[in-house]
C-alpha cells in the first residue's frame, strides 16, 4: 500500500480496466490521484487489473492458447506431415503459465502507477458522501477516511448466483474457479451458453472434457447477427460441444464426486450427471457494500448505478464507469473508454463515447466479433440494406493456416452505402474487427472498403471480398455461392 494522504483531486475505487485506466489518465492530466482496490491473489497480495486480468478475459485467453496447442498436437499435426508421440498435458504447469502472465501484467500496472505517482491503496472502500471515502485495509486493521474533489466508482461485476445451483467451488463452480482447475473434468456441465460459458467450454473441450451446456433461452447467441450465430452453433456442435437449448435448471444435487442436475425443456423433466457443474449465467454489478445508505446515491432495480450520458451519478462529482452502469455492454474496452472519458471531463475536456461502435468479441475457436447493427435489428425497423458475405473457406491464407471455417458479413445502407454493421466468425476475428470499427468511425462506405487495397494472401482479404460482394463482384468466389 502506498503512503496514504487525506486529500486528493480524484479517488478511483476499483482497479480493473475502467478503474486503473481512469486513474492513469487522471494522473497524466495533472490530478493528484489515488486508486483503492481490494483484489488479493492466492498469496494474499494486491493484484491490480480486476476480474478482467485476474480471473476473466486474460487468463481465459492464456488458457485457450495452451489448449489450442494441445489440441493441434493431438488432432491436426499429421496434416502438416509432422508426427509426434506420447503427447501429454500438464494442466498444473498450464495454470502456472497463466498465473505468471497475470503477475507480469499486474506488475506493469503497478509500474505505471509508480511512474505517475498514483497512490495505490489495497483496501475495501465505501462511498460515504460526495467527497469522502472510508478505507478499510484488507487485513481489517483500523479504518480511515480520505477526501476527494472527485470520486470514480469502478468496482466491476461478479458472477450471478443461482438458488438452484449453489456454488461451493468444488463440485459446483463459478468462472473464477473454472480458470484454475488442476485437471480436466471428465464431464463438465455448464449452465448458460452465453459468452462466458462458451469461452470456458472451448478451453476444457480442447483439454479433453466432455461438455454439456444447458441454456434456458430457446435461441442460441442472441446478441450477434443471427446468421453468424447459426454458423457458430454449427461449428461448435461439430467440435463436440453439446448444447441443449430451452433447458431450464430446476435443481442440483451433489453426490460422491458427482453433481446431478434436474432441468426442464419442451419435452419434460430430465436429469444430467456431471463431474463438475459450472454456473455461467451472467454477471451483476459490484455495488453491494460499496455505498453507504446515507450517501443517497441512486441505484436501479438490478443494482446498477444510475448515471447520465456523462457517467455522472446522482451525487455531484461522483462518477460510475465500466460494469457498474447499464450504459453499453459489460466489456473491458467499454470501461477503458469511460475511464478516459471521465478523467478528461474532470480536467475540463469533453470527448464523447460512441456506444454504437463498440466492437464485441467472443474468444472461442473460431472467434466471433462484431460491430454496429445486426441484420435482424435493421430489418425490424424497416431499414433498406445491402448485405455482402464471404466465407473464409475461399481465402488462400485460411487454407494455408488450416483454419478455414467461418465468414465475414458486411451490412450497408441500400441508398447511401454507409457501413451499418460488420460481423465475423473465424480465425483472428478479434483482430479483423478493428478495421471495421475504424472504417465505421470515419463514416466509410462499402465502396471505400472495397477500394482499399489489402495484402494478398491474408485473412483480412475476407473483409475486402465481403465488401466487393455488396456489388456482386467478388474475385475469389463465384457470385451467389454464399447466400446472404
- Domain-embedded: residue 476: no
> Which tens digit of pLDDT belongs to each residue from 402-443?
989 999 999 999 999 999 999 999 999 999 999 999 999 999
Per-residue model confidence (pLDDT) at position 401: 92
Cell reading at 11: 479517488
| Residue that terminates a domain, selected from 248, 281, 314 | 281
Residues 337 and 441 in one domain: no
Q: Is the pLDDT of residue 157 over 70?
A: yes
Q: How confident is the model at residue 483 (pLDDT cuts 50, 70, 90)?
A: very low
Quick check: is 351 in a domain?
yes
Q: State the Cα–Cα distance between residues 140 and 357, nearest whole angstrom.
A: 43
If asked whether residues 182 and 50 sit together in one domain, one would say no
Our count of domains for the chain comes to 3
Cβ neighbour number for residue 224 with a 10 Å cutoff = 23
pLDDT at 465: 97
Report the pLDDT averaged over residues 382-386. Answer: 98
So what's the pLDDT on residue 343? 98
Distances (CA, A) of 116 to 6, 33, 109, 154, 207: 19, 9, 11, 19, 42
Instruction: Examine the pLDDT at 374 and tell me if it is beyond 80.
Output: yes
Residues 257, 191 share a domain:
yes
Question: What DSSP line would sit under 311-336, residue for residue?
Answer: SB-SSTTEEE-GGGSSSS-S-HHHHH
Measured between alpha carbons, how far apart are the two ends of the chain, in Å? 57
The answer as to whether 474 is a domain residue is no
Which pLDDT does position 43 carry in this prediction?
86
CA 416 centroid distance within chain: 33
Instruction: Give the DSSP letter string of 435-469.
Output: HHHHHHHTT-BHHHHHHS---SS-TTHHHHHHHHH
* Catalytic annotation present for 456: yes
Domain boundary among 330, 355, 380: 355
292 and 277 inside one domain: no
Which pLDDT band holds residue 480 (cuts at 50, 70, 90)?
low
Same domain, 179 and 252: yes
What CATH number is associated with residue 115?
3.50.50.60
Cell, residue 193: 451458453
Per the model's pLDDT, the better-predicted residue between 280 and 4 turns out to be 280
* Alpha-carbon gap, residue 34 to 148, rounded angstroms: 9
Q: Which of 233, 258, 281 is the last residue of a domain?
A: 281
The H or E element containing residue 13 is strand 7-13
Q: What is the pLDDT of residue 1?
A: 57
Chain-wide mean pLDDT for the chain? 95
- Which strands form 419-426's sheet, in the order they lie side by side? 360-362, 367-372, 419-426, 407-413, 385-391
Strands 144-153 and 248-254: unpaired
Verify that 277 and 288 share a domain, yes or no. no
In a shared domain, residues 296 and 245: no
Query: Which among 276, 264, 260 is positioned nearest to 210, based on CA atoms?
Result: 276
CA–CA separation, 403 and 429 (whole Å): 12
Residue 105's pLDDT is: 98
Contacts by 468-474, CB closer than 8 A, 24 or more apart: 468/388, 468/390, 469/388, 469/389, 469/390, 469/410, 470/386, 470/387, 470/388, 470/410, 470/412, 470/417, 470/446, 471/388, 471/446, 471/447, 474/390, 474/394
Q: 326 and 405 in one domain?
A: no
Task: State the average pLDDT over residues 186-205.
Answer: 98
Q: Which of 2-11, 141-150, 204-213, 475-484 has the lowest mean pLDDT?
A: 475-484
Among the options 80, 116, 456, 476, which is catalytic?
Answer: 456
The alpha carbon of 28 is separated from its chain's Cα centroid by a whole number of angstroms, namely: 27
pLDDT of residue 3: 62
Host domain of residue 255: 172-281
**What would the mean pLDDT of 237-257 be, rounded to a whole number?**
96
Q: Mean pLDDT, to the nearest integer, of 125-146?
A: 93
Question: Highest mean pLDDT range out of 38-42, 359-363, 403-407?
Answer: 359-363
CA dist 144 and 81 (Å) reads 65
Distance of alpha carbon 429 from alpha carbon 419, whole angstroms: 18
The proportion of the chain whose per-residue pLDDT surpasses 70, expressed as a percent, equals: 98
3-state secondary structure 237-278: HHHCCEEEECCEEEEEEECCCCEEEEEEECCEEEEEEECEEE
| Same-domain check for residues 447 and 405 | yes
Helix (H) or strand (E) holding 419: strand 419-426
Q: Mean pLDDT throughout 445-464?
A: 97
Measured at the alpha carbon of residue 233, what is the angle toward residues 164 and 193, in degrees to the nearest 5? Answer: 20
Do 150 and 194 belong together in one domain?
Answer: no
pLDDT in tens, 139-148: 878 899 999 9
Q: φ, ψ for residue 2 (rounded to 5)?
A: -70, 165
Whether residue 312 sits in one domain with residue 223: no
CB 298 within 8 Å of CB 313: yes
Evaluate whether residue 257 is within a structural domain: yes
> Considering only CA atoms, which of 275, 15, 224, 190 is closest in space to residue 120?
15
Rounded to whole angstroms, how far apart are CA atoms 446 and 147?
Answer: 52
- State residue 397's pLDDT score: 94
Amino acid at each position: 500500500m502506498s503512503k496514504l494522504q487525506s486529500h486528493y483531486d480524484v479517488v478511483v475505487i476499483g482497479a480493473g480496466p475502467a478503474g486503473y485506466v481512469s486513474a492513469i489518465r487522471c494522473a497524466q492530466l495533472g490530478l493528484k490521484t489515488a486508486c483503492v482496490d481490494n483484489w488479493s491473489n492466492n498469496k494474499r497480495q494486491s493484484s491490480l487489473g480486476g476480474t478482467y486480468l485476474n480471473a476473466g478475459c486474460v487468463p481465459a485467453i492464456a488458457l485457450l492458447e495452451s489448449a489450442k496447442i494441445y489440441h493441434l498436437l493431438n488432432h491436426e499435426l499429421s496434416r502438416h506431415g509432422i508426427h509426434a508421440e506420447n503427447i501429454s498435458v500438464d494442466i498444473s504447469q498450464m495454470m502456472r503459465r497463466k498465473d505468471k502472465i497475470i503477475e507480469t501484467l499486474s506488475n506493469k500496472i503497478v509500474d505505471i502507477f509508480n511512474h505517475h505517482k498514483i497512490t495505490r491503496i489495497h483496501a475495501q472502500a465505501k462511498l460515504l458522501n460526495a467527497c469522502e471515502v472510508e478505507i478499510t485495509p484488507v487485513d481489517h486493521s483500523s479504518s480511515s477516511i480520505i477526501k476527494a474533489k472527485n470520486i470514480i466508482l469502478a468496482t466491476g461485476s461478479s458472477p450471478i448466483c443461482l438458488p438452484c445451483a449453489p456454488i461451493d467451488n468444488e463440485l459446483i463452480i463459478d468462472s473464477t474457479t473454472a480458470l484454475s482447475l488442476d485437471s480436466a473434468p471428465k464431464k463438465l456441465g455448464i449452465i448458460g451458453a452465453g459468452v462466458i460459458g462458451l469461452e470456458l467450454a472451448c478451453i476444457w473441450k480442447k483439454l479433453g472434457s466432455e461438455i454439456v451446456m444447458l441454456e434456458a433461452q430457446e435461441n442460441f447467441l442472441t446478441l450477434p447477427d443471427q446468421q453468424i450465430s447459426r454458423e457458430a452453433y454449427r461449428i461448435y456442435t461439430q467440435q463436440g460441444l453439446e448444447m441443449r437449448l430451452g433447458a431450464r435448471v430446476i435443481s442440483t444435487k451433489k453426490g460422491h464426486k458427482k453433481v446431478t442436475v434436474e432441468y426442464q425443456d419442451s419435452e419434460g423433466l430430465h436429469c444430467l450427471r456431471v463431474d463438475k457443474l459450472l454456473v455461467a449465467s451472467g454477471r451483476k454489478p459490484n455495488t453491494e457494500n460499496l455505498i453507504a445508505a446515507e450517501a443517497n446515491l441512486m441505484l436501479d432495480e438490478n443494482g446498477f448505478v444510475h448515471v447520465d450520458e456523462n457517467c455522472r451519478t446522482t451525487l455531484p462529482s461522483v462518477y460510475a464507469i465500466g460494469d457498474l452502469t447499464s450504459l453499453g455492454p459489460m466489456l473491458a474496452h467499454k470501461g477503458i473508454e469511460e475511464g478516459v472519458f471521465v478523467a478528461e471531463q474532470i480536467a475540463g475536456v469533453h470527448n464523447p463515447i460512441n456506444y454504437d461502435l463498440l466492437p464485441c468479441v467472443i474468444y472461442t475457436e473460431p472467434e466471433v466479433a462484431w460491430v454496429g447493427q445486426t441484420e435482424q435489428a435493421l430489418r425490424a425497423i424497416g431499414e433498406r440494406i445491402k448485405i455482402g458475405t464471404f466465407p473464409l473457406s475461399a481465402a488462400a491464407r485460411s487454407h494455408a493456416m488450416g483454419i478455414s471455417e467461418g465468414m465475414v458479413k458486411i451490412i450497408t445502407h441500400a441508398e447511401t452505402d454507409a457501413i451499418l454493421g460488420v460481423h465475423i466468425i473465424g480465425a483472428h476475428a478479434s483482430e479483423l474487427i478493428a478495421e471495421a470499427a475504424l472504417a465505421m468511425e470515419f463514416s466509410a462506405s462499402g465502396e471505400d472498403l472495397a477500394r482499399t487495397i489489402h495484402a494478398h494472401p491474408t485473412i483480412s482479404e475476407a473483409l475486402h471480398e465481403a465488401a466487393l460482394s455488396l456489388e456482386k463482384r467478388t474475385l475469389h468466389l463465384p457470385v451467389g455461392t454464399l447466400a446472404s
